Structure formats: structure tokens, C-alpha cells
Amino acid sequence: MNVLHVATLNRPIKQDVGYAPIETVLYNLDKGLHALGHRSIVACSGDSQVVGEQFTTIERSFSEYCSTHTLVKQEQMHRHLVLSLQRAQQGDIDVMHVHDADMAEYMFNGLRQSFVPIVMTLHVTAEDYVGFTRWNKTLVSSSRAYFVPISEHQIMHHDGLVNAQNVIHHGIDVEDYPFNSHPGTQDYLFSIGRMTQVKGQDIAIEIAKKTGSRLILAGNIQNKAKDREFFKKIQPFIDLETNAGQSFAGEDYYDTVMKPILDSDKQIIYIGEVNSAQKKLWYQHARATLFPIQWGEPFGLVLLESMACGTPVVAFRKGAVPEIVCHGKTGFIVDSIDRMAEAVKAIHLIDPGECRSHVKEHFSIASMARKYSALYQRIVDEGTLCQKTVLSQIA
């Protein structure tokens, strides 16, 4: 199977990056498909480092998730889409896989007369895709565009979606995550995610105060007015701000960066944005990861990453959380701030081994790749049958 992934351009597609949820999923899928023996081709920026075959369209990614749409960036995006479409039309691609609605619409229109089908993973809720609903209404069931929800919860946000496929949950490579059979050696709670109201960092702070716990907050502040305002709102409750991310790497990260921060007498600490390797260490040594989301999050990679390290999760019953966390075994799912505080005090009842095993069994890269592989094959088979039918009618 030859699969062409059309990457997003916000961040490079590689292993150790900071906030890059869609890029991380794409990296993992490319890795999983390559391991299954498929030809996985990723159309992406030149600063990417994929496992399969890299098809470079622009020199560098945009480096941030939310930035001003300058003329230069518009030109780069156009170049990326044009070159990706040209690559798809070379005759050797079985399936195109995209992760953005605007890109999917562009590719679909460009390939309308061909038999190259398009698979689109639905990473966010329908209202977050500008024009998605409008475009969906123009499609019919015979269209060669197929949409993959990432959770059962997400399906509710895409009512009436044409060619909606079965849910395929995200997967991670569990072996890439350090396991600690005795989490909480440093006795702190961890919360990671972009700093914004819906992620609930203000609630995490309240939980830390209620339980007398130290709290480590990690995450970027995007270039959005509402996110900047939210950070200003919680900033007075932060006892220490430091940069534990950029320019810090290597095997001595714990001793040179983490330990001095944890040796301080501060309770609420904001460490900024950390990359993949760094956040794994913060997960590993935490007592629990808080996930006090205030919206119906379609998935939540944070949950998988924490549990893979053996660190249990305490999360609100919103979005896809009940599909990912096993209540009482890999953490606690709660409905109020008071219940979350109680769960934090009972976190010692959770077996770290159960957390890791749960992810390995249900949310591995291999599992995700096999499900996408089966979907690709079915779509290609259906297209081949359709093409033969058309040719026989012409004959």
C-alpha cells in the first residue's frame, strides 16, 4: 500500500517536539504503517524527520500553532498543497491521508476526476473546522472522501457526516515512555496542555490548594487573545515561573533542570512548554496527572502519555475521557472539583502497572496502524471494483 500523508505545517513532523498534537499522531501513524511494511510517504516541511519516506514541500514549518496569516505563510501553504497534489497524481499513490479540512477540500477538488481516495482524520470538533459543514453538505455517499472520528464522543459533533468510518483511537509507542513502578517520588501533581480556559489550569491550581499538593503546570501560551487573558488571570496564583523547555536536553535533564525546580519551596510552578523527551520525565516522577478539562475534548493524548509512564490520571467526565481512562484501574473519572480533590488523595490505590498495560493493550501505535491499514485496503478494494464497473459499462 502506498499512502501519501499531507502534513499540517504548524510544527515539524518528528519525535521530540513540544505542543504538536496532530503532528504527533501523524508521526506515530507513519511509524506504525512503515513497521507494517507499507510505503508511507509524508508531504511535509524540510525540518521534519519522519520514519517512512519524506517528500519535502517547504523548507521550514511555521513553528507555532497560532500565528498571523502573513502573505509569506499563505504562499508556503499554497506551495505545500500544490506539490502534495502533484505528488498524488504521479500514479503510484493508493490513498491520500490528510488531517485538515481545508487541505482535504483542496485535495478532493484537485483529484475529482481520479480514483485516488482521500481519508481525513477528524482531530477536532466540527465547529472548529471553518467551512467543514458547508463542504460536507456538497458530498454524496459515492464521493471518494472518507472521514475517521477519533472517539465515539466526537461522532456526536459530526451528525450527518457523509462517509463517516468507524472510530480509530490514537496510539502511542509505549516503549518510548519511561516506566516508574513507584510514581510520585517527587510528590507533585502534573498538568500539561496549552494554557487556555478549556484545559482547566485554574481548576488544577484549585485542586492543588485543596489537597496541599505541589503542582507543575506545563504548556505553551498560544497567540490568542483569550489564551493570553486566561494566563493573566491565573498568573497571580503561580508561585514560580521558569523555562524548563527550550535549550535544555540530554541525559542530565533531571539533575540540571527538574531537581532544582523541585527542590524549591514553591507550590504552584509554571515551567513553560517542554518537548516530548522532557515531558516524559515530568510524567514519570509525578504522583498523578490532572486533566480538569472544561469542554468535550475529542481525545486527549495526555491521558495515554501519562498512563504509559505508570502515572495515573484524575480527569473530569467530559469528552472522550471515559473511552480512554479505566475508572478505578488507571485513574479516576470525576464530576466535580471536590471529587477530584478526593481522588487525588486516593491516587495511591492505583497500580502503575495497570496504567501502562491498559495503554499497551488498547492504544498502541501497532493497533492504530493496523486499523488504518485495514481501512485503506477496504477503500482501495471498493475503488477498484467501482473502476472495473465503469470500464465494463464503457466497453
Which tens digits make up the pLDDT trace of 167-203? 999 999 999 999 987 766 678 999 999 999 999 999 9
- The per-residue pLDDT for 184 is 63
Q: What is the pLDDT of residue 86?
A: 95
Query: What predicted TM-score, i.e. pTM, was given to this entire model?
Result: 0.92
pLDDT value, residue 181: 77
pLDDT for residue 68: 62
pLDDT computed for residue 386 by the predictor: 56
Question: SS3 string of 213-241?
Answer: CEEEEECCCCCCHHHHHHHHHHHHHCCEE
Half-sphere exposure of 92 (CA within 13 A, CB side): 7
Residue 185 pLDDT: 66
**Contact indicator for 215, 269 with CB cutoff of 8 Å:** yes
Q: What is the pLDDT of residue 389?
A: 47
pLDDT at residue number 151: 95
Indicate the SS3 state at residue 57: strand
Q: Which residue has the cell 493570553?
A: 228
Q: Which amino acid is at 186?
A: Q
Residues of the chain with CATH 3.40.50.2000: 2-171+365-394, 175-359
**Which residue, 112, 115, 156, 100, is CA-closest to 138?**
112
Which amino acid type is present at position 164?
Answer: A
Residue 315 pairs in a beta bridge with 291, 333
Contact 372, 5 (CB under 8 A): no
The H or E element containing residue 78 is helix 71-88
Q: Which stretches in the chain have pLDDT values below 70?
A: 64-69, 126-131, 183-185, 247-250, 384-395
Q: Which are the contacts of 246, defined by CB distance < 8 A and separation ≥ 6? A: 272, 273
CATH topology of domain 175-359: Rossmann fold (3.40.50)
Predicted confidence at residue 112, as pLDDT, reads: 81
d(CA 277, CA 251): 10
What confidence tens digit (pLDDT) does each residue in 83-120 have?
A: 999 999 999 999 999 998 888 888 988 988 788 999 99
Name the class of domain 2-171+365-394. Answer: alpha beta
